[in-house]
Amino acid sequence: MAEIFIDADACPVVRQTEAVAKKYRIPVTLLCDTNHVLWSDYSRIKVIGAGADAVDLALINLCRAGDIVITQDYGVAAMALGKHAIALHQSGMQYTDANIDRLLQERYMAKKARRASGKSHLRGPKKRTEEDNLKFLQTLEQIIFEMRCC
C-alpha cells in the first residue's frame, strides 16, 4: 500500500493532505526536525534530530516506489523520483523526470547569482493563495485516482 510522506517543516498543505489521505485511507507520515512541533490526529509523526539535511535523508530512506512525497525541496524530489516515488510540490506542481533537471539547474543558477551579488536571498516566496491550495488538492486527488485505477 502506498504511503504519503511530507517534508513537514513549514509545509502549508499538511491538513489538506491529511483530509484527502483520510478519505482514501492512505497512511501519512510527517517528518520534521527538533526545531518544529507538530501534532496530528491522523498522521504518524517522526521527529528527526536537527542537522543539515537530516529530515531530507530520513524521508528518502523511508519512502519506496509508488509512495507520494510532498516537498518543496528539488533535491528531495529528485531523490524521491530516483526511488520511483511520486514527488509533489506544495503548489501542486508534480515533479517528473521531464522537469527535475531544469528545476535543479534553475536552483543552482539562483544560488550562484546570490553568491555573486553577496545576498543570501534574492526575494522571498510569493504569498500563498487559495488557487495554490486548489491546484495542490486537484493534483493530489488526480495522482491518487491514477494510482488506484491504473
Range of the structural domain that residue 122 is part of? 4-149
Q: What is the pLDDT of residue 63?
A: 97
Which residues of the chain, if any, have pLDDT below 50?
A: none
Q: What backbone torsions phi and psi does residue 44 show, to the nearest 5 degrees?
A: -85, 140
Residue 117's domain is classified under what CATH number? 3.40.50
Distance CA 89, CA 77 (A): 8
Q: What is the pLDDT of residue 45?
A: 97
End-to-end CA distance of the chain: 14
Determine if residue 52 is left, alpha or beta; phi over 0 gives left, psi from -120 to 50 gives alpha, anything else beta: beta
Q: Which residues pair with 68 in a beta bridge?
A: 4, 86
Place of cell 520534521: 32
Q: How many distinct structural domains can be found in the chain?
A: 1
Q: What is the pLDDT of residue 123?
A: 64
| pLDDT digits 0-9 by tens, 34-48 | 888 899 999 999 999
